[in-house]
Amino acid sequence: MRIRIDIPRQTLELFAADGACIRRYAVSSAANGAGEQEGSHRTPRGRHRIRAKIGAGAPLGAAFRGRRLTGEVWTPELAAAHPERDWMLSRLLWLCGEEPGFNRGGNIDSQRRYIYIHGTGDDQPMSVPHSHGCVRMRNRDIIELFDLVEAGTKVEIVDR
């Protein structure tokens, strides 16, 4: 299995070992565009891998902070009460850059930037750049993807 995230198309595709695309999802990458710099709130490009899968068995809409469950489950009312929060929901796939000097090491390191593929609130748009750097998905989609991939799965993020 491998994943390809296409920033211009705002899609995530999952490919089987034989190269066949077996899933395609709408996503939302960074509102600030693509880029690797720490603090830029941009989605990093290039070759990555899934470093860790976080949240197995958590309920649909379960909220995370610092890779830990908060005990909250997202609702429109909860979101309205906390409009400043960047909701990371349901599952997290933590990415690690594979290209030293581009997305790994120093102040361009995807893992140290805490770049995830994660679920988001139903009120957030898909198919348009709107995140703070991570790749957002619908909650049901991230749960399905989470169950299909393993830690170590290759992820390519393209901006062309």
List the domains of the chain with CATH numbers: 28-153 (2.40.440)
41 touches 52 (CB < 8 A): no
pLDDT of residue 36: 97
Q: How far apart are CA 90 and CA 138, in angstroms?
A: 9
Q: pTM of this prediction?
A: 0.95
CB 21 within 8 A of CB 15: yes
pLDDT tens-digit profile of 2-49? 999 999 999 999 999 999 999 999 999 999 999 999 999 999 999 999
For 1, half-sphere exposure in the C-beta direction (CA atoms, 13 angstrom radius) is: 17
**Residue position matching structure tokens 């991570």:** 134
pLDDT digits (tens, 9 = 90+) for 135-146: 999 999 999 999
Q: 160 falls in which pLDDT band (50, 70, 90)?
A: confident
Q: Stretch 97-120: mean pLDDT, rounded? A: 97
CB 87 within 8 A of CB 61: no
